[in-house]
């Protein structure tokens, strides 16, 4: 909270805390220590995605910054993002550089990538920060845990999909924005520090299931038919490799439950897909070009293929701490 209250920009800053049904005295603590902070107290836990939607719906400003509770920001974070979004009116969202809270020399994410194997990764995740991501540029999507949105963009794109509950709801929103021709920009001067899994680590199985299920929902809902047709072998290989990794990590039961939940959710997802694909203004080839803009160079064709179907394995071979 001190890092949030240290943010400033022209016109002032309003701070809204959304408490997602906590039972540990957090609300009482915030109200007593920071009485100027507006608190939206939810009576029960509705999930990260729904909490994001409550925050956006309760905001009264045109620009809305979403910041998770396990992120600490440098004091210039907000002003850097506001400057960038003002300079790039085509952008619905802007995002900064997230470093590891426990090791600030290691990158957590420099914007998010959607690979056509269905993998979703943070750019540079786990790599030491040697200044290789210092160029402001378009990226495919933003991590909602620390990003600045135009509230008006939600009128076009719609809210975060609450069926995701947690994980990839921000990528789904960013994908839908891309299909409507709206951009996302990476601003390296806006720096934050991400602890990671601070609220989800204790429920590894549950949230691991959400990650696996939601990735399939993302593909079924957002991938245009042309991309599915051209890249289905990569999708199949990636999903099989992830299944093998789940066996290795003793997560097979959760993985199979994720597939079952996906199948049960598929009919409604296909209804949503029909509406999304009918209204999109960006074609499959153009979308592929947009995605390629922010993919880091991978060297040989074999390395590029490994990065696409098994990004974590590729990152380890590059010396990433993942």
Confirm whether 291 is domain-assigned.
yes
Confirm whether 110 is domain-assigned.
yes
107 contacts 127 by C-beta, under 8 angstroms = yes
Which tens digit of pLDDT belongs to each residue from 228-260?
999 999 999 999 999 999 999 999 999 999 999
Q: Domain range spanning residue 273? A: 60-322
Q: Mapping DSSP to helix (H, G, I), strand (E, B) and coil, where does residue 182 land? A: coil
Confirm whether 129 is domain-assigned.
yes
- Total structural domains in the chain? 1
pTM across the whole model:
0.94
66 contacts 145 by C-beta, under 8 angstroms = yes
Confirm whether 190 is domain-assigned.
yes
Give the domain CATH number at 148.
3.90.550
Confirm whether 174 is domain-assigned.
yes
Which tens digit of pLDDT belongs to each residue from 35-79?
999 999 999 989 899 999 999 999 999 999 999 999 999 999 999
- Per-state percent for the chain, helix, strand, coil, to nearest 5: 50, 20, 35
Q: What is the mean pLDDT of residues 113-136?
A: 93
Confirm whether 217 is domain-assigned.
yes
Rounded to the nearest 10°, the torsion over CA 217, 223, 225, 228 is -80
Confirm whether 221 is domain-assigned.
yes
């Amino acid at each position: 909270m001190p890092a949030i209250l240290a943010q400033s920009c022209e016109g002032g800053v309003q701070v809204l805390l959304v408490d997602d049904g906590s039972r540990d005295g957090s609300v009482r603590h915030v109200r007593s220590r920071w009485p100027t902070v507006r608190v939206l107290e939810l009576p029960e836990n509705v999930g990260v995605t729904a909490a994001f939607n409550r925050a956006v719906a309760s905001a009264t400003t045109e620009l809305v910054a979403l910041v998770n509770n396990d992120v600490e920001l440098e004091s210039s974070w907000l002003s850097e993002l506001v400057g960038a979004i003002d300079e790039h009116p085509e952008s619905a969202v802007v995002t900064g550089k997230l470093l590891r809270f426990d090791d600030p020399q290691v990158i957590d994410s420099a914007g998010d990538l959607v690979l056509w194997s269905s993998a979703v990764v943070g750019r540079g995740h786990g790599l030491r920060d040697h200044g290789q991501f210092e160029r402001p540029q378009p990226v495919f999507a933003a991590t909602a845990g620390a990003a600045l949105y135009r509230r008006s963009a939600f009128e076009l794109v719609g809210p975060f999909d609450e069926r995701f509950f947690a994980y990839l709801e921000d990528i789904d929103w960013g994908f839908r924005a891309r299909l409507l021709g709206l951009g996302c920009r990476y601003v390296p001067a806006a720096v934050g520090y991400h602890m990671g899994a601070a609220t989800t680590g204790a429920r590894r199985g549950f949230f691991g299931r959400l990650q696996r299920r939601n990735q399939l929902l993302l593909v079924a809902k957002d991938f245009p038919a042309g991309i599915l047709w051209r890249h289905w072998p990569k999708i199949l290989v990636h999903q099989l490799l992830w299944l093998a990794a789940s066996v290795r990590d003793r997560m097979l039961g959760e993985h199979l439950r994720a597939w079952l939940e996906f199948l049960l959710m598929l009919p409604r997802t296909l209804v949503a897909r029909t509406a999304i694909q009918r209204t999109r203004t960006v074609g499959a080839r153009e979308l592929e070009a947009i995605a390629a803009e922010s993919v880091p160079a991978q060297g040989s064709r074999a390395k590029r293929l490994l990065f696409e179907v098994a990004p974590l394995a590729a990152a380890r071979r590059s010396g990433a701490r993942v």
